[in-house]
Amino acid sequence: MPHAYTANFVHCVFSTKERRDTIPAEIQEKLWAYLIGIAGNLRIEMLAVGGTRNHIHVLIGLPAKIPLSEAVQKLKANSSRWLGEHNVEFEWQKGYGAFSVSPSMLGTVKAYIRNQAEHPKKRSFEEEFLALLRESGVAFDADRVFG
């Protein structure tokens, strides 16, 4: 077969260093747009992006030739640089969460990501992230998840 046909949809989550509120609310929409641009330049399909002052979620369609770790590294590095250029003292936490998404669940995950502003009213980022790990069946040591 001369071509690769893939459907690799991944819900990625990463937080600010020490989960500090360092993403100013007034530039979040611009940051989301910038992340969409980064993804486009890498030929990664950005299906949804959203977050709060201390973390973001992205839903990406990952092309066959780009490893997940490389995609996340490039999204984090470029967005971190962009925030610095906008006078935000900023750093992402090391690591990330990545959860595969079936095509039938894309609409549900998109809605979840787009409603991120409402989630901190119900639970903290830490609670949300641990729930994602549990729901995805990811083995983890609760004492080591956040560093």
Per-residue pLDDT of the chain (147 residues; tens, 9 = 90+): 578 888 999 999 999 999 999 999 999 999 999 999 999 999 999 999 999 999 999 999 999 999 999 999 999 999 999 999 999 999 999 999 999 999 999 999 999 999 887 766 788 889 999 999 999 999 999 889 987
CATH topology of domain 9-136: Alpha-Beta Plaits (3.30.70)
Q: Say what the pLDDT of residue 142 is.
A: 85
Residues 40 and 38: their CA atoms lie apart, in Å, by: 5
Phi/psi of residue 74, each to 5°? Answer: -70, -40
Q: Say what the pLDDT of residue 2 is.
A: 74
Q: Nearest CA to 16 among 87, 77, 96, 92?
A: 92
Q: Say what the pLDDT of residue 52 is.
A: 93
Is residue 123 within a helix (H) or strand (E), and if so which, with residue range? none
Q: Say what the pLDDT of residue 135 is.
A: 93
Q: Say what the pLDDT of residue 4 is.
A: 82
Is residue 129 within a helix (H) or strand (E), and if so which, with residue range? helix 125-136
Give the predicted TM-score (pTM) of the model.
Answer: 0.92
> So where are the chain's domains?
9-136
